[in-house]
Amino acid sequence: MEFSASQIAAIVNGEIIGSSSAIVTDLAKIEEGKEGTLSFLSNPKYEEFIYTTKSSICIVNKDFIPVKPLPLSLTLIKVENSYTCFAQLLELYDNLNKKEAKIEQPSFIDNSALIGSDLYLGAFAYIGKNVEIGNKVVIYPNVYLGDNVKIGSNTVLHPGVSIYFGCKVGENCIIHAGTVVGSDGFGFAPNSEGVFQKIPQIGNVIIENNVEIGSNCAIDRATMGSTFIREGVKIDNLCQIAHNVDIGENSALAALVAVAGSAKIGKRVMIGGQAAINGHLSIADDTKIVGQSGVVKTVKEAVTLMGTPAIPLNDFKKSSVGFRKLPFILSKLEELEKKIKDLE
């Protein structure tokens, strides 16, 4: 990547303060900037770094007024919203680094598979029987697509992703390295002798459009029917989604969240890291669950929950105050018991 200040200003509709011919070839945080990098300043907490940064170009808000001399080598580009414009440039940079369409060898594509246009298929990938792949899909090396899998257009599957038979992934999805979609649900039934017998898991996983799933997640196939990851859902690394779970549109799960079987998560639900959701319950739309909480019963209306078992946040804060006072309360109780004995 090589852009001049004038080219960048044209992209973000900005005003140049400094050299319009300044060149950048990389991006950097303002505190880590070096010659030839592009940075941005949005948060006032980081303003001190703009007076010492070695970045060649910095995007700032139009109302930014320096209170100290700026580096002589620094060119500013003033815009309405520096954070939004920098995000726009990050997206452009990411698009420039996308893989060119080609099929690397060795790789395997079954003769029955239907492949769309402009596919990038990395080496050692496996495409099973009756697989359907849309247009402009990127499949990195060592990806496994089982029989009858469907992948929508513009989806990216990073190295080592495994998608078991019959599962479906929508358009504009990103699944990061090591994630497994469609592994068996945890279905076992003890027989008369107490020995666990496996219950066949014959359903699938359906991932709708615009979903992003982090690295090393496990999303189990349904016992019957489907496990659903709905439109716009974002799932962080190392999450476990059990069989027949249904995660509603535009919900977000942070790292290490575990959702037990047949739980129904509403729309726009936000779940903090290491939280756990019991099986066979429902979470209302717009609910927020604080990290490390354990939800053990159905949530019927939007609320912020914290603790194990999870309770409304304000109730948890009050309980926490009482918990911190517990040693003092116990000490007073011992004093009262001693006084009662003395009176007796």
Q: Which residues are catalytic?
A: 243
- How far is Cα 344 from Cα 341, in angstroms, rounded to an integer? 5
- How far is Cα 224 from Cα 246, in angstroms, rounded to an integer? 13
- How far is Cα 111 from Cα 17, in angstroms, rounded to an integer? 58
Count of C-beta atoms within a 10 Å radius of residue 70:
16
Number of residues that this document lists for the chain = 344
- How far is Cα 238 from Cα 45, in angstroms, rounded to an integer? 32
Respond yes or no on whether the N-terminal peptide bond of residue 106 is cis (omega within 30° of 0): yes
Helix (H) or strand (E) holding 327: helix 326-343
Residues 6+ apart with CB under 8 A from 156: 137, 138, 140, 173, 174, 175
| Residues 75, 94 contacting (CB under 8 angstroms) | no
